[in-house]
Amino acid sequence: MSSGRVPLTLSVNAEEYEIELEPRRTLADALRDNCGLTGTHLGCEQGVCGACTVLIEGEPVRSCLMFAVQAQGCEIQTVEGLAPDADTLHPLQEAFSAHHGLQCGFCTPGFLMLAAGVLEMRPDIGDDELREVLSSNLCRCTGYQTIIDAVSSVRDAG
Amino acid sequence: MIGQSVPRLEDRPLLLGEGRFVADVTFPGTLHMRVVRSDVANGTIVEIDTSEAAEMDGVVAVFTGTDVVDLPLIDFRQIGYPDLIPHRQPVLAQGVVRYVGEPVAVVIAEDSYLAEDAAEMVFVDIATAEPETTEIMRLDSEYGQVDEAFANADHVISLELRIGRHTGVPMETRGLLAYPNPDTGVLELHGASKVPHYTHAAIASMLAIDPSLVVSREGHVGGGFGIRGELYPEDVVVAWAALRLDRPVKWIEDRREHLIAANHSRDQQHRIRAAVQVDGEIIAIDSEFWLDQGAYVRTHGATVPSLTAAMLPGPYVIPAYRSLGHICLSNKTPAGTYRAPGRYEATFVCERLIEAAARVTGLDSVAVRRRNLIPVSAMPFNRQLAALGTEIVLDSGDYPMLFDRLLNHIRIDELQQELAARRAAGEHVGLGLGLFVEKSGLGPYDDVRVTVREDGSVEVITGAASVGQGMETAIAQICADDLDMDYRDVEVVHGQTDRISRGMGAFASRVTVMAGSATRLGTDAIKDKARRIVADMVEANLDDVEYRNGRVGVRGQPDSQMSLAEIASASPDALAVDATFTSHHMTYPYGGHAAVVRVDIETGLVRIERYVVAYDVGRAINPMMINGQILGGAAQGIGGALLEEFHYDEMGNPLVTSFMDYLMPTAAETPNVEILVSEDAPSPLNPLGVKGAGEGGTNACGAALAAAIEEAIGQPGAITELPITPSRLRGLIAESSMVNKQEQDS
């Protein structure tokens, strides 16, 4: 039943993680359990809620729907890599706090990574489309309005 | 400081991915538990074969009901009645299963994937029976002369209504890590939330160990909404197994388990009659309702039906009232509370009744509401009903004024004209209103320990809990306001049962009211103590020593002034106080919702064009966070009104087991909500004047949307059931066009 382990190198937030795991492990579990990066959360493990969203080669991806071995050789970015340094928050992190875009904070890493990826790819995304994109992830606390406000403010600040 | 929208103290670690949710916590040698659940809704266990699973590499233990036969059933935390006692749930099924998802065995393994593999190799043979529904208890309450009122009424109206089965669904699933700490000999419960003190005491009691040997360690909590943090069967098994194996045992459920095993809520049917006078006055209500409790009665006992009955009259006078609630057991997932429990249902029913009263009298529903609202002169208003062990006494409020404010905000006359014009032009648009009374601040007590440290920072230890709502910030603001200090220098400690001996936790919108008031009493005592210390030091008369701008000194003598840090340094440990706030009555915030919707009659899709919530919270500690509570609450209420519902097939199989089936609103379905927070009616029951803000955003969503939608489709009274899904709405539209067509044909 249990399969053998394979060695794997994951490149996360510009650091190399040499790990060994079963090929069936999801990327989310590898990030959390093997790399110790528990900021990536699991809300459904079915690809619906988006709490586990990370950036792979700059694009938002559900890390629960991908095997870790599939991410070999890719540049992965997680919430832990968002802030530029220990003293400075990323503009999205600042904006989420300023606009009260988080309450319990469980879905927050997924929304931050989704927004970071989208604004990187589409810095001028329109309001309707932004709302549509942010509807990819679920939040049960905020009612979304403050998340949309936070992301829009970062987009508007360019 | 009170009343300012300062940024939250909680945010930084959560934004950096440094949160400590239960799944993020681990200890060396942690074992992983997977629950084997019944896949049958009603049946008798013939055999459980664990042999194959137990032999698998990495499997440490497999436990079934026979291993835990000595553990008691899970008791009620609230509102237990003798009739309910036989229907409590065992921690693992004892010979029978009563719902799909009921824990029948657990597998404990070195790794979570292995535990899941092994759980699939546990073979459970169940002799299946048909699902059943049986009534187990009736709850009745009454005041006034109901029969006489009906006999003398100008009109009698009656409605049959239903509210679907939905629940909180926090984004973090349930989980617990029980760690027998070898250094301290104490069993640590990581992941206990909502009621950490209750949980630690209940688990100690169930496992028959000294409560001082169990400690709750609350970390970050991924949303509460009533459902998370109640004592569930799985929690007890985790703790029991950790002691039995003397190793850390961790259980993190998956989303399917969450949807079939964590508390459901709502699911009520109402048959209600009202006696109505020609002027719109409702002189009596006679209510009967049935609540589908699911398979067992869990920790909430009869909380939900008792609140339903007691809160149904809402903000209206209703001189005579009778309610008969039937608690029914079925073979569905057991039910408990979910944000605005009992009130979401009751407000839907009461406001449907208001609309019906308007139709029968030919009056506008606004006029009917005005006719029946409790006037400010009647406050405090004794409802002559009780719930949660307290009498319902509406403590303060100017209901008509808030209603007017809501109507003025939406410019109701212009809005109604505009909507009428759009309907005449072929659009399907409508406006709906819903008024409500909430409850908050359930006692009976909360304690704090306030300590000024030598650097002048302050620690507030509270027995309340965080469910992600921002309570640390609110408590810090209350503390900083009184002590004239920076709220960022206040550290709020919560959910740690070894730091404070008792605590009530976080539910019923109680934390700001109860723990906040205790904090205020605590900081007042700190100021008093600081004055005494300084008076002794400088040998001044106590009356001449004042606390001002965070400094203590003799009035008129600037040289004598000392900061709290200086006092704390000079008298180590002296600036520490314990304070208790006690309250035997709840405090009652109130408000109204207004919804404007557009219905696509081809698809049954409801678009919310405008949504307004007006809410009086007595006093707003942090308006930004109150808005956040209302926005989030409204999204959940809207989900329950339009989308969310648990369905079962005829054999009791759950048909809603993933986020593909349980449709929660996303950013695409959730409107921007306009919020009017008012502070017209501070509560006289606590030193801050606050009322809880957690549930008003949810309360009247079903009521307002139902009224808006039926106006949009031109079918007054047609909406009798929540959620108003596109398919239900399509059905109503199709029925009506069929009738219209027949009328035209004949």
Measured distance CA(A84)–CA(A82) in Å, rounded:
6
The shortest C-alpha distance from B196 to chain A (Å) reads 17
Find the mean pLDDT for residues B666-676: 97
Find the mean pLDDT for residues B666-685: 97
* Interface touch B16/A39, C-beta < 8 Å: yes
* Interface touch A97/B11, C-beta < 8 Å: yes
Find the mean pLDDT for residues B358-384: 98
Edge-to-edge strand order for the sheet containing B445-452? Answer: B490-494, B458-462, B445-452, B576-582
User: What per-residue confidence (pLDDT) applies to A64?
Assistant: 98
User: B644 and chain A: CB distance < 8 Å anywhere?
Assistant: no
* Percent composition of chain B: helix, strand, coil (DSSP 3-state, to 5): 35, 30, 40
Please give the share of chain B, as a percent, with pLDDT higher than 70: 99
- Could you count the other beta carbons within 10 Å of the beta carbon of residue B219? 18
Any idea what the Cα angle at residue B156 is, between residues B155 and B162, rounded to 5°?
A: 140
For residue B77, pLDDT over 70 is answered with: yes
B9: nearest CA in chain A? A97
* From B431-435, B568-572, B705-709, the region with the lowest mean pLDDT: B568-572
Mutation site for B-interface testing, chosen from A20, A90, A125, A140 by largest number of B Cβ within 10 Å: A140
Q: What radius of gyration do chain B's Cα atoms show?
A: 27
* Interface touch B21/A106, C-beta < 8 Å: yes
User: A103 and chain B: CB distance < 8 Å anywhere?
Assistant: yes
The shortest C-alpha distance from A112 to chain B (Å) reads 8
* Interface touch B11/A134, C-beta < 8 Å: no
For residue B742, pLDDT over 80 is answered with: no
For residue B589, give both structure tokens. 């915030």
The alpha carbon of residue A64 and the mean position of all alpha carbons in its chain are separated, in whole angstroms, by 11
Mutation site for B-interface testing, chosen from A104, A118, A129, A145 by largest number of B Cβ within 10 Å: A104
Q: Judged by CB atoms within 8 Å, which residues 154-193 of B form the interface with A?
A: 168-173
A contacts of B28 (beta carbons < 8 Å): none
Q: What radius of gyration do chain A's Cα atoms show?
A: 16
User: What per-residue confidence (pLDDT) applies to B736?
Assistant: 83
B53: nearest CA in chain A? A1
Q: Which residue in the set A39, A41, A89 is minimally distant from B18, CB to CB?
A: A39
Residue spans in chain B of domains classed CATH 3.30.365.10: 132-167+263-373, 393-439+588-746, 445-582
User: A13 and chain B: CB distance < 8 Å anywhere?
Assistant: no
Handedness of CA B148, B151, B152, B154 (dihedral sign): positive
B contacts of A102 (beta carbons < 8 Å): 11, 14-15
Backbone angles phi, psi at B426, to 5 degrees: 105, 0
- Could you count the other beta carbons within 10 Å of the beta carbon of residue A125? 17
Pairing outcome for strands B249-252 and B134-143: unpaired
For residue B358, pLDDT over 50 is answered with: yes
* Interface touch B628/A147, C-beta < 8 Å: no
The domain B445-582 having CATH identifier 3.30.420.40: the answer here is: no
Q: Which domains does chain A have, with CATH numbers?
A: 6-81 (3.10.20.30), 91-157 (1.10.150.120)
Per the DSSP assignment, residues forming a β-bridge with B721 are B162
Measured distance CA(B703)–CA(B355) in Å, rounded:
10
Per the DSSP assignment, residues forming a β-bridge with B600 are B605
DSSP 8-state code for residue B364: -
H-helix or E-strand containing B454? none
A contacts of B634 (beta carbons < 8 Å): 143
User: A135 and chain B: CB distance < 8 Å anywhere?
Assistant: yes
Edge-to-edge strand order for the sheet containing B562-563? Answer: B545-548, B551-554, B562-563
- Could you count the other beta carbons within 10 Å of the beta carbon of residue B603? 12
A contacts of B53 (beta carbons < 8 Å): none
A contacts of B468 (beta carbons < 8 Å): 103-106, 141
Please give the share of chain B, as a percent, with pLDDT higher than 90: 96
Residue whose structure tokens are 């605005």: B340
* Interface touch B632/A98, C-beta < 8 Å: no
Pick the CATH number of B393-439+588-746 from 3.20.20.70, 3.30.390.50, 3.30.70.20, 3.30.365.10: 3.30.365.10
Pick the CATH number of B132-167+263-373 from 3.30.365.10, 3.40.50.620, 3.40.50.2300, 3.40.50.300: 3.30.365.10
Per the DSSP assignment, residues forming a β-bridge with B470 are none
A3: nearest CA in chain B? B114
For residue B521, pLDDT over 90 is answered with: yes
Check if the beta carbon of residue B38 is closer than 8 Å to that of residue B105: no
- 3-class SS letters over B133-199: CEEEEEEEEEECCHHHHHHHCCEEEEEEEEEEEECCCCCCCCEEEEEEECCCCEEEEECCCCCHHHH
For residue B279, pLDDT over 70 is answered with: yes
* Interface touch B169/A140, C-beta < 8 Å: yes
Please name the amino acid found at residue A60. Answer: P
Mutation site for A-interface testing, chosen from B14, B52, B608, B625 by largest number of A Cβ within 10 Å: B14
Query: Residue B203: which of B165, B171, B242 has the closest Cα?
Result: B242
* Interface touch B117/A139, C-beta < 8 Å: no
Going by pLDDT thresholds of 50, 70 and 90, the confidence category of residue B572 is: confident
Q: Please indicate, yes or no, whether the overall pTM of this predicted structure exceeds 0.90.
A: yes
B15: nearest CA in chain A? A93
Tens digits of residue pLDDT in B176-230: 999 999 999 999 999 999 999 999 999 999 999 999 999 999 999 999 999 999 9
* Interface touch B666/A144, C-beta < 8 Å: yes
User: What per-residue confidence (pLDDT) applies to A1?
Assistant: 43
Q: Which residue in the set B17, B169, B470 is minimally distant from A80, CB to CB?
A: B17
The shortest C-alpha distance from B168 to chain A (Å) reads 8
Tens digits of residue pLDDT in A41-82: 999 999 999 999 999 999 999 999 999 999 999 999 999 999
Measured distance CA(B482)–CA(B399) in Å, rounded:
31
Report chain A (158 residues): mean pLDDT per 10 consecutive residues: 82 98 98 98 98 98 98 97 95 98 98 98 98 98 98 96
Question: Count of A–B CB contacts within 8 Å?
Answer: 177
Tens digits of residue pLDDT in B215-274: 999 999 999 999 999 999 999 999 999 999 999 999 999 999 999 999 999 999 999 999
User: What per-residue confidence (pLDDT) applies to B79?
Assistant: 87
Residues 6 or more apart whose Cβ sits within 8 Å of residue B42: B97, B98, B99, B128, B129, B130, B131, B132, B331, B652
H-helix segments, B17-143: 51-55, 112-119
The domain B11-131+169-261 having CATH identifier 3.90.1170.50: the answer here is: yes
B contacts of A76 (beta carbons < 8 Å): none
CA distances from B119 to B49, B91, B462, B709 (A): 11, 17, 40, 47
- Could you count the other beta carbons within 10 Å of the beta carbon of residue B542? 11
Q: Which residue in the set B14, B255, B667 is minimally distant from A45, CB to CB?
A: B255
Edge-to-edge strand order for the sheet containing B721-722? Answer: B134-143, B321-329, B282-294, B265-276, B155-166, B721-722
B contacts of A135 (beta carbons < 8 Å): 666-669
Measured distance CA(B100)–CA(B251) in Å, rounded:
19
User: What per-residue confidence (pLDDT) applies to B389?
Assistant: 84
Mean pLDDT of chain B: 96
Q: Which residue in the set B56, B222, B225 is minimally distant from A106, CB to CB?
A: B222
Find the mean pLDDT for residues B475-482: 98
Measured distance CA(B669)–CA(B257) in Å, rounded:
26
Any idea what the Cα angle at residue B658 is, between residues B656 and B659, rounded to 5°?
A: 110
Measured distance CA(B672)–CA(A105) in Å, rounded:
21
User: B404 and chain A: CB distance < 8 Å anywhere?
Assistant: no
Half-sphere exposure of B563 (CA within 13 A, CB side): 11
User: What per-residue confidence (pLDDT) applies to B746?
Assistant: 61
B contacts of A80 (beta carbons < 8 Å): 16-17
Largest CA distance in chain A: 53
Query: Residue B628: which of A102, A110, A137 has the closest Cα?
Result: A102
User: A146 and chain B: CB distance < 8 Å anywhere?
Assistant: yes
B698: nearest CA in chain A? A143
Q: Judged by CB atoms within 8 Å, which residues 369-398 of B form the interface with A?
A: none
User: B117 and chain A: CB distance < 8 Å anywhere?
Assistant: yes
Q: Judged by CB atoms within 8 Å, which residues 62-101 of A form the interface with B?
A: 78-80, 82-83, 89, 93, 96-98, 100
Handedness of CA A33, A34, A38, A42 (dihedral sign): negative
Q: Judged by CB atoms within 8 Å, which residues 191-230 of B form the interface with A?
A: 220-225
Query: Residue B1: which of B450, B475, B469, B448 has the closest Cα?
Result: B475
Query: Residue B463: which of B444, B490, B482, B488 has the closest Cα?
Result: B444
Check if the beta carbon of residue B237 is closer than 8 Å to that of residue B68: yes
Q: Judged by CB atoms within 8 Å, which residues 545-584 of B form the interface with A?
A: none
Tens digits of residue pLDDT in B439-470: 999 989 999 999 999 999 999 999 999 998 89
Residues 6 or more apart whose Cβ sits within 8 Å of residue B41: B97, B98, B99, B100, B131, B331, B332, B648, B651, B652, B653
Handedness of CA A157, B1, B5, B6 (dihedral sign): positive
Query: Residue B338: which of B728, B621, B694 has the closest Cα?
Result: B694
* Interface touch B670/A93, C-beta < 8 Å: no
B11: nearest CA in chain A? A97
Handedness of CA B3, B410, B429, B313 (dihedral sign): positive
For residue B607, give both structure tokens. 């678009």
Check if the beta carbon of residue B139 is closer than 8 Å to that of residue B325: yes
CA distances from B149 to A85, B60, B145, B154 (A): 72, 68, 6, 10
Measured distance CA(B22)–CA(A16) in Å, rounded:
27
Please name the amino acid found at residue B256. Answer: R
Mutation site for A-interface testing, chosen from B30, B107, B171, B258 by largest number of A Cβ within 10 Å: B171
The shortest C-alpha distance from A39 to chain B (Å) reads 4
User: What per-residue confidence (pLDDT) applies to A76?
Assistant: 98
Mutation site for B-interface testing, chosen from A79, A80, A103 by largest number of B Cβ within 10 Å: A103
B contacts of A100 (beta carbons < 8 Å): 8, 624-625, 627-628
For residue B563, give both structure tokens. 């900061």
Residue spans in chain B of domains classed CATH 3.90.1170.50: 11-131+169-261
Residue whose structure tokens are 């349930």: B174
For residue A35, give both structure tokens. 């790399």
Find the mean pLDDT for residues B343-351: 98
Any idea what the Cα angle at residue A29 is, between residues A26 and A30, rounded to 5°?
A: 85
